[in-house]
Amino acid sequence: MPISRITVGRAEEATRPDALKAALAEFISTLLFVYAGEGSGMAFNKLTSDGAATPAGLIAAAVAHAFALFVAVSIAANISGGHVNPAVTFGAFVGGNISLLRGILYWIAQLLGAVVACLLLKFTTGGLTTSAFALSSGVSVWNAFIFEIVMTFGLVYTVYATAVDPKRAVWEQLHQLQSASVAPNILAGAFDGASMNPAVSFGPAVVS
């Protein structure tokens, strides 16, 4: 239920069972999302020589991330709201849907989930490096910065236009969110990897 205004929250909120349960849901869903999404790219690279840099690899990565996002949001939607993204959590805070304290719990859970996912990937793949995001030739830091701002804004805006709307059916919300993740991945994937999620960038950067 949305709160009436932006608020910091009370200290006891950090120990409330519902807040801890929601944070755990964010940890698990982000872990699964990063594990499946990042793992799909690693699998494609193993099967083909630098296949992720080809159009087929780009499309495969976009589709894999979309399905992984669908599953991750589905399992956490009724517990934490299924943010699976620190940017979405920030948007929820600014929009007055959660307190800052709960948002911090979500951020910690999401970042830890991404790190654990990459550690698991490194272990289960026999020590393969989890690919951190890198800029393509000719793409500057500022180019990538603008790409990420636009793509992440589009994703967060889609969440507010669909998932926050109580009039829309849950499966309709999930389908639209899934669709909103495919196009940006294809668009920006060839330039900067199309993160659109600080947790997705954080995990591989820490582990690699």
pLDDT tens, residue by residue, 76-135? 888 988 899 999 999 888 888 888 899 999 999 999 999 999 999 999 988 887 776 766
> Cα–Cα distance between 77 and 159 in angstroms, integer?
12
1 pLDDT above the threshold of 50: no
Give the least confident one: 42-46, 184-188, 194-198, 203-207: 184-188
> Cα–Cα distance between 73 and 96 in angstroms, integer?
20
CB 15 within 8 A of CB 97: no
> Cα–Cα distance between 54 and 190 in angstroms, integer?
9
138 pLDDT above the threshold of 90: no
- Is the residue at 97 inside a domain? yes
Domains in the chain, number? 1
> Cα–Cα distance between 112 and 203 in angstroms, integer?
8
CB 121 within 8 A of CB 38: yes
For the chain, give the percent of residues with pLDDT over 70.
79
Quote the domain boundaries for residue 154: 11-207
Closest to 198 measured CA to CA, from 141, 135, 137, 113: 113
> Cα–Cα distance between 199 and 110 in angstroms, integer?
6
- Is the residue at 84 inside a domain? yes
CA angle in degrees (0–180, nearest 5) for 179-182-183:
100
Whether this model's pTM surpasses 0.95: no
Here the CATH number for the domain that contains residue 81 is 1.20.1080.10
Looking at per-residue pLDDT, the higher value among 50 and 54 belongs to 54
> Cα–Cα distance between 98 and 86 in angstroms, integer?
13
Give the least confident one: 37-46, 104-113, 127-136, 175-184: 175-184
**What angle, rounded to 10 degrees, do the helices at 170-192 and 141-162 form?**
180
- Is the residue at 6 inside a domain? no
**pLDDT value of position 94:** 87
Give the least confident one: 4-8, 32-36, 92-96, 121-125: 4-8
Single-letter residue type at 82: G
Task: Please tell me whether residue 154 adopts helix, strand or coil conformation.
Answer: helix
- Is the residue at 161 inside a domain? yes
**pLDDT value of position 189:** 65
Per-residue tokens: 89: 């959590």
- Is the residue at 5 inside a domain? no
- Is the residue at 46 inside a domain? yes
21 pLDDT above the threshold of 70: yes
Closest to 162 measured CA to CA, from 178, 147, 182, 148: 178
CB 3 within 8 A of CB 103: no
Task: Please tell me whether residue 5 adopts helix, strand or coil conformation.
Answer: coil
Count of helices and strands (H, E) across the chain: 7, 0
Per-residue tokens: 143: 């180019």
**pLDDT value of position 117:** 95
